Amino acid sequence: MPDRKSLSSGIAIRFHLAADEHAALAFGYSPLLETVLSLHVLAEPKHHALQHDWVRAMRSLPQPLRRELRALEFLYRWTLPNCVLPSATTEFEDFETEVGRLRALPVDVAAFELVRTVYDHGGRGRRKEVLADPGVRTDALRHAGKPGSATRRAATQLLEDPAAFVERFATFLEAYWEAAFADEWGRIEPRLAEGVVAAGRAIASDGAFPFLVGLAPQLRVDLGARTFGLDLPHEHDVQLTGQSPLLLMPSVYVWPHVRVNCDPPWPLTLSYRAPHLADSLRHTSPPELVRVFRALGDVTRMRILEQLARRPRSTQELAPLVGLSEAGTSKHLRLLADAGVVTSRREGYYVVYSVVDERLESLTGDLRHALARTTRKSGPSWSSSPPSSSASSDSAVKSTL
């Protein structure tokens, strides 16, 4: 983890979490947001390898719907409009309720946010003046027209007749939901609900910051300053409190991104890869399993793990506890880190190591997964026809990635 100085100097969006962190956090998911995230996947398919099956399945969409998807893609290709976000204070809502809320927005409020997907006005200025500004129009149409003439024509409608365009967007979302995403939501909603419960349990057990540290590589966390955020060209410091909470939302379709909103009047949100999706990536190939088990198959390294399981420690702390020099301890720590069972972060002048609990917990499942895949490839079960001890498992099983 970066130290406080380097983190504070590099972050562009920073959330400050109050001491009463549980009151400053909310948990949820949104069928409307997930629908729009899936549209982003279709607009940028080569950036979303995990959703390739969805991309292929959507080739069967009716042609009129596919044309409208392309015409409106400036709304979700590069960023997302915040007017599709759920609130942190409402009940869990269904798709129809959320689309109804989008339709009920004042036209200038909705249009002002939709224009932001192709012209970052930063929330500054009077809405009607910004929408009527010739410079805004020129820049917005130029950016919106990059995919083609159909997107430029749609953006022109947004600027000239925003009420009709908002209705067009809502109608398109309903048609896409009916044709494709309603069934998909039925499949993924239970997994997102599990993700909400998992997040709540993790934060209730260990606090918010251990949960945030493991959420995504892009999310930069400073435990000492009680801040976290993303490196984006958008300077904003946000205080999270019980009156202004952050809504944490697991998502199937957000990967490989982490999406945040910190701009009023829209809810403060952080959308991240759903835990079950992350779990599906953690199945380890046999060569990697061998490396992990070799790292664990040493008495000294097991003593190091025992000490780290009690609490995170630096090399200087560990060395006398395990009876080694600092150099010898560092060597063992490198092996454990290479195997993914310990991680490190910098605290001032020291590097502090801690156990990656989920990595250790996944080993049994990884081993079973590897054995199951090998069994499927080889045909007969090993119990009836055990392989030769000289047979290599490297060629029998490949990583699920």
Overall pTM > 0.75: no
Q: What is the CA 106 to chain-centroid distance, rounded?
A: 30
Query: How many domains does the chain fold into?
Result: 1
DSSP SS3 for 114: helix
Would you tell me how many other CB atoms lie within 10 Å of the CB of residue 91?
9
Q: In the numeric block, which tokens belong to residue 8?
A: 């504070």
Q: What is the pLDDT of residue 284?
A: 54
Query: Inter-axis angle of helices 286-296 and 299-310, to 10 degrees?
Result: 90
- pLDDT tens digits for range 225-276: 899 988 877 788 899 998 999 999 999 999 888 999 988 889 999 999 998 7
Q: What is the pLDDT of residue 349?
A: 80
Q: Which residues of the chain have pLDDT under 50?
A: 1-9, 281-282, 374-401
By the 8 A CB rule, do 8 and 180 touch?
no
Q: In the numeric block, which tokens belong to residue 334?
A: 């490198």
Domain coverage including residue 79: 4-279
Give domain status of residue 192, yes or no: yes
Q: What is the pLDDT of residue 348?
A: 79
Q: What is the pLDDT of residue 376?
A: 43
- pLDDT tens digits for range 191-225: 999 999 999 999 999 899 999 987 888 888 888 88
Give domain status of residue 118, yes or no: yes
Give domain status of residue 248, yes or no: yes
Would you tell me how many other CB atoms lie within 10 Å of the CB of residue 391?
12
Give domain status of residue 344, yes or no: no
- The distance in angstroms from the start CA to the end CA of the chain is 26
Give domain status of residue 359, yes or no: no
Give domain status of residue 305, yes or no: no
Give domain status of residue 260, yes or no: yes
Question: Pairing state of beta strands 227-230 and 13-17?
Answer: antiparallel
Unique residue bearing structure tokens 């009607």: 128
Q: What is the pLDDT of residue 20?
A: 83
Q: How many helices (H) and strands (E) does the chain have?
A: 18, 11
By the 8 A CB rule, do 199 and 208 touch?
no
Give domain status of residue 250, yes or no: yes
DSSP H helical ranges for 44-126: 52-57, 63-71, 95-104, 107-115
